[in-house]
C-alpha cells in the first residue's frame, strides 16, 4: 500500500504516483489519505488542497482502471498453471535476465540457462540464521523476503521479493540525483552495508555481489516527538539482488558480477573462494560509484574509500569505519533525503 507524503502528493503528475492501480487496494489508500489530511484548525487550507488533489487523482485512477489500464504490464503463467498480471513501474536487464519493480515487489526473471543461479538464490534466502534477537531486528529488512518463486510455462524462473515499505532501487536514486549523491547520504548507506556484512560474517556467508544495481533504498524520515515509529519511517538499505552468487564460507564460487571480480583479492581469484574482504571492498566500490565527479567529499572519507586495506573481521572493519566517519562528518545525526520518484 502506498503512503505518500504531502510534498509527494502535491508534486505528483499522475494518479499512479500516489495510488496503487488496483481496485482492491486503492479505496484503502484513499481513505488513509483523507483521514491523515482531514481539516484541522491550524491547517485547514493546506489540508483542503491535499485532499482535493487526492480526490481528483482517485477519480482519474478509477477511470483508468475501468478503461483497462495496462501501462507496463507483464503477464506470467507458471508451469503449474497459475496466472500473474503484473503492473510494474520500472524494469532493467541484468546479466541473468530482467528485473521488474512494482509497488509491492521486486521481481527477478531469470533465463532458463541460469537455473543453477536461480536455485542458489532460493537456497541462500529460504531460511536465515538468526544469531540473536537484537541482530535480527536490525538486519531483517536488509535481506530479501522471498514470498514466491516458480518456473514459468516458457521455461523462465521468477523470484518475488516483498518490499517491507516503499523502496527504490539505488540505481533509480542515483539517476534521480543526476549521477552523484551527497557524501552524507553515501555515508549513511555505507554504515548499513557494513552492518549487513557483519551479520553475514556471523552466519559464515559471503554475498559476493554488493553493487549499486543489487541494492534498494528507503530514505526514511526523522520523527517528531511523540510520533509512533513504524517500518515506513525507517531508513533501510535492502541487499535484495545478487544472491545468485552468494556462498557459504569455504563454498566454491560459481561466479560474481564483473565489477566485483575487478576488486577481488588475487588470492580469491586464484583459489576460487570468496572472503569477507570481497564484500568489504565492494562497499567502497559502491561508495565511489555513488559519488563520482564530486569535489565536496571530506578528506577522511575520501581516504577511506580509496584505501584497499580492509579488515579480515567485518566487526573490526565496522568499528574502523565508524572512526573514519566521525573524522569526516562528526557526531552521528539523521540526514533527511527527500525523494519523489
Model confidence over 6-28: pLDDT tens digits?
888 988 888 888 888 888 889 99
Grade residue 41 by pLDDT with cuts at 50, 70 and 90: low
Q: Do 181 and 224 fall into the same domain?
A: yes
Residues 6 or more apart from 199 whose CB is under 8 A from it? 131, 135, 138, 139, 142
Please check the confidence at residue 241 and state whether its pLDDT lies above 60.
yes
> How far is C-alpha 168 from the geometric centre of its chain's CA atoms?
6
Do 126 and 195 lie in one domain? The reply is no
Residue-level pLDDT at 339 = 63
Is the model's pLDDT at 273 over the cut of 90?
yes
Our count of domains for the chain comes to 3
Task: List the single range of 90-104, 244-258, 326-340 with lowest mean pLDDT.
Answer: 326-340
**Residues 213, 245: contact at Cβ < 8 Å?**
no
Closest CA to 147 of 161, 167, 157, 127: 161
| Residue 172: per-residue pLDDT | 86
Domain stops at, among 21, 48, 66: 66
Asked if residue 138 is part of any domain, the answer here is no
- Whether residues 57 and 109 fall in one domain: no
**Separation CA 117–CA 152 (nearest Å):** 16
Q: DSSP labels for 18-35?
A: TS-S-HHHHHHHHHHHHH
> How high does pLDDT run on average in the chain?
90
Tell whether the model's pLDDT for residue 250 goes beyond 70: yes
160 phi/psi in degrees, rounded to 5: -105, 120
| Residues 174 and 244 both lie in one domain | yes
The better pLDDT of the pair 38, 222 is held by: 38
Give the integer Cα–Cα distance in Å for 333 and 146: 32
Instruction: Indicate which CATH number applies to the domain containing 295.
Output: 1.10.510.10
pLDDT in tens, 185-230: 999 999 999 999 999 999 999 999 999 999 999 888 776 676 777 7
Residue 1 within any structural domain of the chain: no
The residue-averaged pLDDT of 47-72 equals 84
Residue where a domain terminates, one of 16, 42, 66: 66
pLDDT at 101 over 70: yes
Which has more confidence, 13 or 338?
13
Is the pTM of the predicted complex or chain greater than 0.85?
no
Q: Are 14 and 95 members of one domain?
A: no
Both 39 and 105 in one domain: the answer is no
Average of per-residue pLDDT across 57-73: 80
In terms of DSSP H, where are the helices of 224-274? Answer: 258-261, 266-271
Residue 273, classed as helix, strand or coil, is strand
Around 330, how many Cα atoms within 13 Å sit in the side-chain half-sphere?
3
Other CB atoms within 10 A of residue 58 CB: 19
Which triple of cell numbers denotes residue 259?
Answer: 565489477
Phi, psi of 276 (to 5 degrees): -65, -25
Residue 250 placed within a domain: yes
pLDDT reading at 269 higher than 90: yes
Domain membership of residue 39 as a residue range: 6-66
Note the Cα 222 to chain centre separation in Å.
19
Q: What is the pLDDT of residue 197?
A: 96
The model's pLDDT over 279-299, given as tens digits with 9 standing for 90+, comes to: 999 999 999 999 988 899 999
Q: State mean pLDDT over 115-127.
A: 97
**Locus of grid cell 504531502:** 6
Quick check: is 139 in a domain?
Answer: no
Determine the pLDDT at residue 293: 83
Residue 100 lies in a domain: yes
The total number of residues written for the chain in this structure: 341
Give yes or no: residues 13 and 27 share one domain. yes
| DSSP of 181-210 | --HHHHHHHHHHHHHHHHHHHHTTEE----
Instruction: Give the whole-angstrom CA distance, residue 11 versus residue 53.
Output: 10
Mean pLDDT check: name the lowest of 62-71, 79-88, 106-115, 258-267: 62-71
Q: Is residue 186 part of a domain?
A: yes
Confidence of residue 183 (pLDDT cuts 50, 70, 90): very high
Residues 237 and 271 in one domain: yes
Amino acid at each position: 500500500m502506498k503512503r505518500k507524503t504531502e510534498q509527494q502528493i502535491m508534486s505528483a503528475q499522475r494518479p499512479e504516483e500516489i495510488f496503487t492501480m488496483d481496485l482492491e487496494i486503492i479505496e484503502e489508500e484513499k481513505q488513509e489519505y483523507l483521514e491523515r489530511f482531514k481539516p484541522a484548525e491550524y491547517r485547514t487550507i493546506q489540508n483542503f488542497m491535499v485532499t482535493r488533489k487526492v480526490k481528483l487523482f482517485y477519480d482519474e485512477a478509477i477511470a483508468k482502471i475501468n478503461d483497462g489500464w495496462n501501462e507496463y504490464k507483464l503477464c506470467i503463467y507458471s508451469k503449474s498453471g497459475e496466472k500473474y498480471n503484473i503492473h510494474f513501474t520500472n524494469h532493467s536487464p541484468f546479466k541473468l535476465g530482467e528485473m521488474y519493480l512494482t509497488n509491492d515487489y521486486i521481481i527477478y526473471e531469470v533465463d532458463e540457462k541460469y537455473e543453477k543461479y536461480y536455485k542458489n538464490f532460493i537456497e541462500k534466502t529460504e531460511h536465515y540464521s538468526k544469531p540473536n534477537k537484537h541482530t535480527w531486528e536490525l538486519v531483517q529488512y536488509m535481506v530479501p523476503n522471498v514470498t514466491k518463486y516458480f518456473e514459468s510455462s516458457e521455461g523462465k524462473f521468477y523470484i518475488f521479493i516483498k518490499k517491507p515499505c516503499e523502496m527504490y532501487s539505488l540505481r533509480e536514486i542515483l539517476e534521480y540525483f543526476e549521477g552523484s549523491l551527497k557524501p552524507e547520504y553515501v555515508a549513511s548507506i555505507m554504515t548499513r552495508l557494513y552492518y549487513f556484512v557483519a551479520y553475514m560474517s556471523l552466519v559464515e556467508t559471503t554475498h559476493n555481489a554488493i553493487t549499486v544495481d543489487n541494492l534498494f533504498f528507503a530514505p526514511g524520515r526523522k520523527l517528531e516527538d511523540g510520533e509512533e515509529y513504524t517500518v515506513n519511517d525507517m531508513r533501510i538499505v535492502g541487499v535484495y539482488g545478487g544472491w545468485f552468487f552468494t556462498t557459504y564460507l569455504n563454498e566454491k564460487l560459481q561466479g560474481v558480477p564483473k565489477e566485483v571480480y575487478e576488486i577481488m583479492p588475487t588470492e580469491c581469484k586464484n583459489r576460487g573462494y570468496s572472503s569477507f574482504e570481497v564484500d568489504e571492498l565492494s562497499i567502497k566500490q559502491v561508495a565511489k560509484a555513488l559519488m563520482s565527479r564530486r569535489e565536496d567529499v571530506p578528506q577522511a572519507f575520501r581516504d577511506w574509500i580509496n584505501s584497499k586495506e580492509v579488515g579480515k573481521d567485518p566487526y573490526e572493519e565496522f568499528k574502523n569505519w565508524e572512526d573514519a566517519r566521525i573524522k569526516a562528518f562528526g557526531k552521528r545525526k539523521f540526514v533527511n533525503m527527500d525523494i519523489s520518484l
